[in-house]
Structure 1
Amino acid sequence: MTGNEHPIGVFDSGVGGLSVLREIRAVLPHENLLYVADSGHLPYGNKPAEYIEQRALTVGRFLLSRGAKAIVVACNTATAAAITVMRAEFRVPVIGMEPGLKPAVALSKSLVVGVLATEGTLKSAKFRDLVGRTTEKVEVIAQACPGWVEQVERGDLGSPATRDLVRRYTEPALERGADTLVLGCTHYPFLAGLIADVAGPDVHIVETGSAVARHLRRRLEADGLLTRRMAPGVELFWSSGPAEVAGRSLAVLWPGVHRVRPLPAGFAAGD
């Protein structure tokens, strides 16, 4: 197998990264994709950065062992904690996530932007640096959203409990004048409809999965790594948590999944 026929590896703390995987599939229909849900260590958002870094390195090594020609860290928290060390260790392109603050600022008329993310992302030096690079006179409201990741992991995208959670953590930024909301966690696009219901039609909602997918395509093209196959690509899935639990969530978020493989013990265990 030549280098450009190898698969692309994608991982997240759970199933949220499927929001990025679907964008990758849309722009790279012929590539084979590997996806790891590190559900046995979910959520990343409330864990120490050092722990997340070790999990990211471990999952990255697994993807490389499966022949990945590039790795997408489809998790904002893991990107903030581990992208630098992953790029230093791995000899393949490593693409990460970043809250879409720049496009959000460009859209905002009130100059108040809300960033909905995990506690880990919002407390990271990477996020502080991102806000610091924003030269426009804009107020950035950072709002942690505990419980959202867990609801998506359960495949619970519309129950009264989920609606209440979404309202609880969306309204504070709106009450302070935000007219643009950034979804700073890859789980949150699966709640975008509920967020829009709370925010109303005049509020912009910004997610970055499509931008990451386009960036990945450009990088693969520049490095001569795009597949030459014309057949549709396939997806393979692993989970470090109970495979049957991940399978139920995947059935909701990625219809057509037939099998979720358990991550091998050497990669699934905590560090």
Structure 2
Amino acid sequence: MTPTSNDLPPPVVPASPLQYGSAPIGVFDSGMGGLSIVQEIQAYLPHEAIIYLADTKHVPYGERSDDEICQLTTQAVQWLYAQGCKAVVIACNTASAFSLTPLREHYGAGFPIIGLVPAVKPAVLKTHSKVVGVLATPGTLRGSLLKDVIAEVAVPAQVQVLTAVSPALVPFVEQGQQDSAACQQELERILRPLQQAGADHLVLGCTHYPFLKNSIRAVFAEQFVLVDSGLAVARQTGRVLAAQGLSAVQGLHIDPKIESAKQPTVKLQCFVTGNANNAQPVLNSLIQSFSPVLVSVQPAHLIGIEQ
């Protein structure tokens, strides 16, 4: 059973005042996949500093129990809060599905927590075939967020939603093998039935999966329109920060297209719960897709499940 806000430990004292706009945004994922969300936030909110926490010690979350997922996510959010983050983005569909509501209740409106929901709605609105595919983790399929959005959006529109799942995909990204022949063979195996059933849009229901776009296109060319939540999450983060007076450039209008075209100033710190040396090469390969500057990885010590 998912814990309620009363079951969670009290918030720790932050290292710096949360009300300052110059404080960083915390972004958390079970592994390196959340860097796809970091990419969108940096492009849309280029003046914001980011602390990224990857729980590489416990990745993947998809096959863990509901209680484990909630416990690990709670510890990660507490850690980011302690670093002085002004808001947290849970850049993990599985963690959002089981932890978002109790964490929001626990921290309250003064500490914004933004979660992820698979981008089913834009796919449903744009499909021509009335069939949409969702590539997700076992945990996301098990949780209520995806089921709720299908019931609220797809069912009234009479759009069929087909799902595909593979525990092998997240490890491919974590090991830097997202463009390998083995990864493409697995994508062929699990996605071909969706394509044959008429799906014209494919929702990438895990933050690791945008890093699979090249492999999906290598196998299926343009047979799928690929849809993810990255830009929507970046925009929602910007709206929440502005509404609470927490933006780094509060009151100024910044055109993301113009700003993102400039030489980037990297304001990104990366922390992992596993071996930092092992994570560095993978992070470098993923981060090069949106930043010319390599970012060092530092260890983060969380009190949590030891496995």
Kindly provide the CA deviation profile for residues 169-217 of structure 1, in whole angstroms up to 9, marking residues without a partner as x.
2112111111111000000000012112333324211111011001100
Quote the residue 2:73 is aligned against.
56
Identical positions, percent = 39
Partner SS, residue 41 of structure 1: coil
The correspondence for 1:222, drawn from 243, 246, 250, is 243
Quote the residue 2:152 is aligned against.
133
Query: Partner amino acid for 2:210?
Result: P
Change in CA separation of 1:5 and 1:31 when aligned onto 2, cut-off 3 Å: same
Query: Partner amino acid for 2:77?
Result: G
Q: Following TM superposition, by how much is the alpha carbon of 1:145 offset from its aligned partner in structure 2, in angstroms?
A: 2.1
- 233-242 or 147-156, which moves further after superposition? 233-242
Query: Partner amino acid for 1:240?
Result: T
Structure 1 unaligned segments of length 5 or more: list them: none
- Structure with larger RCO (C-alpha < 8 A, sep 6+): 1
Aligned Cα RMSD in Å?
1.8
Quote the residue 1:4 is aligned against.
21
Partner SS, residue 30 of structure 1: coil
Q: Following TM superposition, by how much is the alpha carbon of 1:241 offset from its aligned partner in structure 2, in angstroms?
A: 0.9
Q: Following TM superposition, by how much is the alpha carbon of 1:146 offset from its aligned partner in structure 2, in angstroms?
A: 1.9
Distance in 2 of aligned mates of 1:254 and 1:204: 24
Distance in 2 of aligned mates of 1:119 and 1:127: 11
Quote the residue 2:270 is aligned against.
237
Structure 2 unaligned segments of length 5 or more: list them: 1-16, 253-263
Partner SS, residue 279 of structure 2: helix
Kindly provide the CA deviation profile for residues 7-44 of structure 1, in whole angstroms up to 9, marking residues without a partner as x.
10001000000000000000111111000010101100
TM-score by length of 1: 0.95
- 101-110 or 229-238, which moves further after superposition? 229-238
Quote the residue 2:255 is aligned against.
none
Distance in 2 of aligned mates of 1:129 and 1:228: 35
Partner SS, residue 189 of structure 1: helix
Distance in 1 of aligned mates of 2:101 and 2:90: 11
CA contact 2:35–2:286 (8 Å) conserved in 1 = yes
Quote the residue 1:100 is aligned against.
119
Change in CA separation of 1:203 and 1:258 when aligned onto 2, cut-off 3 Å: closer
Quote the residue 2:10 is aligned against.
none
Aligned residues: 270
Q: Following TM superposition, by how much is the alpha carbon of 1:3 offset from its aligned partner in structure 2, in angstroms?
A: 1.7
1:240-255 alignment runs, 5 A limit: 240-255=273-288
Quote the residue 2:196 is aligned against.
175
Distance in 1 of aligned mates of 2:94 and 2:20: 29
Distance in 1 of aligned mates of 2:143 and 2:21: 34
Quote the residue 2:206 is aligned against.
185
